[in-house]
Amino acid sequence: MDYTLRDAKIVKNVVHLGTKFIPLRVGTKVTFHYETRKCDAERTLIDESRTHQKPMELVLGKQFKLEVWESIVQQMGLHEVARFRCDKSLVQQYPFVSKTVRDAQKVRQGGKRKHCCGLTFQNESTGYPDLDELFIHPQDLEFTIEILSIENPDEYGKEAWQLSDDEKQILVYRLREQGNVAYRANNLIAARDAYSYAIGIVEQLMLKEKPNEPEWIELAQTKVPLLLNFSQCKLLEQDYYSVIEHCTELLKYDPQCIKGLFRRGKAHAAVCNYEQARNDFQQVAELDTSLGTAMRKELAKLEDQQRLRNVEDRLKYCKFF
């Protein structure tokens, strides 16, 4: 959809001239602050990106929900500030965009995101009364836009969703190496985050393939060492249930992964899942006889831990009588 400023549906007023005009093309990333107001007598404020402490980033040509924003930023220069009055027919998607931004802000503050598609939006509340009202009663909106930066595709690092499948594969390899370097430097958080990011990219690629087909199996094998390394980070962080979850997943792809069985066994032992821990340690001993002595020591420690736990439970039980 291509709107120009000659359209009666868009009226521009310059507040502050820009420093220069940069030609834009598909893939250009425009970063800007925005303020959204109703075109009523009070100029009611709806949103202001500065309160979110995060400007909007828009990559041109990527089918952004609010197409009119793509049109108006292309009519602006770097550091320009301008107001655009847009006809209600051009901003019907704004409640969706606003809800997404507000939900993302809640997530950053520790809340939970609730997915809401256009179909259910008509029957359910967005969780924001002003957006509900705007959706039911559309009206003209005024956007005040301040262009902060304009970066052409070769001037910024692409995010994962912008990459081709081949580029994603390369990024996964790099992230794994970054994670390994960070782990060796005892930077556990950086290592964990790198492995986690890589796992997410592999999962995106796997969704495009049919399960158990050669391409899917190859990606699953790429995912195994990432899950293994991520679970090691989680084990050191004492996040035992996450270790169990991720090791169980990798063992679906590689049932005889000794490290996966051992780390899951250690996590089970830590949360008093004695039988599951015992099974994992025994499988390790069966798969690699050279580890038999080490596993017998783990099983002995497990027996001691279980006996101590039983004594503690009996003592606690006795206090009730």
Q: What is the pLDDT of residues 135-186, one digit of tens each?
A: 999 999 999 999 999 998 877 766 776 678 888 899 999 999 999 999 999 9
For 231-249, the pLDDT digits (tens) are 999 999 999 999 999 999 9
**For range 14-26, the mean pLDDT:** 91
The number of domains in the chain is 2
Residue 310 pLDDT exceeds 90: no
Q: What is the mean pLDDT of residues 70-93?
A: 94
Query: Do 214 and 141 fall into the same domain?
Result: no
Decide if pLDDT at 313 tops 80: no
Assigned domain for 65 exists? yes
Structural domain includes residue 18 = yes
**DSSP code, position 154:** G
Rounded distance between C-alpha atoms, residue 236 and residue 231, angstroms: 9
Same domain, yes or no: 186 and 267 = yes
3-state secondary structure 15-45: EECCCECCCCCCCCEEEEEEEEEECCCCCCE
Return the CATH number at 198.
1.25.40.10
Give 100-105 contacts, CB < 8 A, sequence gap 24+: 101/47, 101/49, 101/52, 101/56, 102/47, 102/128, 105/52, 105/54
Residue 156: inside a domain: no
What CATH number is attached to the domain comprising 82? 3.10.50.40
Q: How many CB atoms lie within 10 A of CB 20?
A: 9
**Cβ neighbours of residue 75 under 8 Å, at least 6 residues apart?**
4, 5, 12
Same domain, 174 and 288: yes
- My answer on whether 211 and 129 are in the same domain is no
Q: Which of 96, 127, 151 is the last residue of a domain?
A: 151
Percentage of the chain surpassing pLDDT 70? 87
- Are 139 and 171 members of one domain? no
The reply to whether 23 and 98 lie within a common domain is: yes
**Domain-terminating residue out of 151, 185, 219:** 151
Q: How many CB atoms lie within 10 A of CB 194?
A: 25
Same domain, 126 and 206: no
Band (pLDDT 50/70/90 cuts) for residue 61 is confident
- One domain for residues 16 and 143: yes
In a domain, 310, yes or no: no
Indicate if 143 and 171 belong to the same structural domain: no
Looking at 101, 116, 151, the residue that finishes a domain is 151
Assess whether 137 and 267 both reside in one domain.
no
The whole domain housing 250 covers 165-299
- CA atoms lying within 13 Å on the CB side of residue 182: 18
Residue 241 forms part of a structural domain:
yes
Residue 316 resides in a domain: no
Asked whether residue 173 falls in the same domain as residue 37, the answer is no
How much is the average pLDDT of 281-288? Answer: 96
Is residue 191, in this structure, part of any structural domain at all? yes
Question: What is the tens place of the pLDDT at every residue in 40-58?
Answer: 999 999 999 988 768 998 9
pLDDT reported for residue 112: 45
136 and 169 in a single domain? The answer is no
| Domain annotation covers residue 307 | no
Kind of pairing, strands 10-16 and 81-86?
antiparallel
Stretch (H or E) spanning 288: none
In this prediction, residues 186-195 reach a mean pLDDT of 94
